[in-house]
Chain A
Amino acid sequence: MHLGHGAIISAYVVVTLLLLGLGLYSTWSLRTKIAGILLVTAAYLLVYFSLPHLLGWPTDRQVPRRFNLYAVYIQDPDQASGEAGSVFFWAGDLAPGADPRPRAFRMPFKASFKSVLQEAEGKLQQNIPQEGEIELEDAPQGVPLDWTRLGQKSVKLKFKDALSNLPPSKEAP
């Protein structure tokens, strides 16, 4: 269980405690208290059924430092619609003890990301497993035009052949 599940379970517990407090100690009429209970039950169900719709979509945070690349999907910027474009990749974290399931990531479109990802995708198509590595650039050059990205660190994406995952050569003794 990771923080996501823990925080959402805590939210359920806290709401229940608040409702209990209101039911026992508020000056509400019985009808209003019942309405409150029904409202919270409906909210519980709403959140419960909303959760699966959140899962599976790519995240733009927590890209692992080293990862095994499974697939790439690139959306070029569209000048007609003003879409900034994105690069998506599907990868498994190579950190010891990490969740072995593949996870989907999204990064803003950059020509440099596109070229390295396309090269890595080409090698995947030749059955050469690709190991990705993220490097944080501590000293970003210039100031982003979009002020919401002021706190965002610039990253460099690198790939190399994951030779350790390949079957041994037949020529080897």
Chain B
Amino acid sequence: MSTESIAGFIAGYFIVALLLLNVLFCTRWMWWLKLAALLTVVALFHATYQALPDLLGWPTAAGLPARFNLRGLEIVEPDKGGVSKGEIYLWVTELNLDHSPQVPRAFAVPFHPELQLKLASAGTKLRKRMPQLGERTERPFDSGTTDLAHGGGINLDFYDMPDPLFPERVP
């Protein structure tokens, strides 16, 4: 969870608390209305705090890094009836050539047959223990069926991870 998002939520809580204080001290509402407002806000704070984990873990459509280390993938093909357009799920970590600890994050990108082929190949290499480096590209798909800028599609390229550099030999 990023620091910005935590700060955003704390700011949200703070502003609600500020509003509540003003309701309690700056209005001429009846005491039971003020008590109801106080209880509602306390219950709400508790409910949102408890609800946050429900949101975690699920793939997000935004914020796929420009370059990443592919950890896992799952492809849901579109159904023949056209109800589901299909989706590609990726589990990735930020690219770290220094092998520092990373927390993997899940993303969802729109299904595209060309991307499916690239991912199938990357998945086969992953299973052979060949780490895969993913890179976002602005190049449109060869079939030209998706306008990347306006269609919400994402095109990716995959490469074998470079071998870690050996430290220089000290004479």
Contacts and interface: CB of A to CB of B under 8 A. Distances in A.
Interface of A: 2-8, 10-11, 14-15, 18-19, 21-22, 25-28, 36, 39-40, 43, 46-47, 49-62, 70-71, 73, 75, 78, 83, 86, 88, 90, 92, 99-106, 124-127
B153 interface: no
Contacts, number: 191
Contacts of A49: 8
20 contacts: A4-B53, A14-B40, A14-B41, A22-B23, A25-B29, A27-B26, A46-B8, A46-B12, A47-B8, A47-B11, A50-B5, A52-B63, A54-B1, A55-B58, A56-B58, A57-B105, A58-B104, A73-B91, A92-B74, A104-B106
Which of B7, B76, B91 gathers the greatest number of chain A CB atoms within 10 Å? B91
B74 A102 contact: yes
B93 A73 contact: yes
A64 to B, nearest CB: 11
Contacts of A60: 53
A11 B46 CA distance: 11
A28 B27 CA distance: 9
Interface in B71-112: 71-74, 76, 87, 89, 91, 93, 101, 103-108
A83 B103 CA distance: 13
Contact of A18 (B19, B72, B127): B19
Interface in B1-35: 1-2, 4-5, 7-9, 11-12, 15-16, 19-20, 22-23, 26-29
A125 B48 contact: no
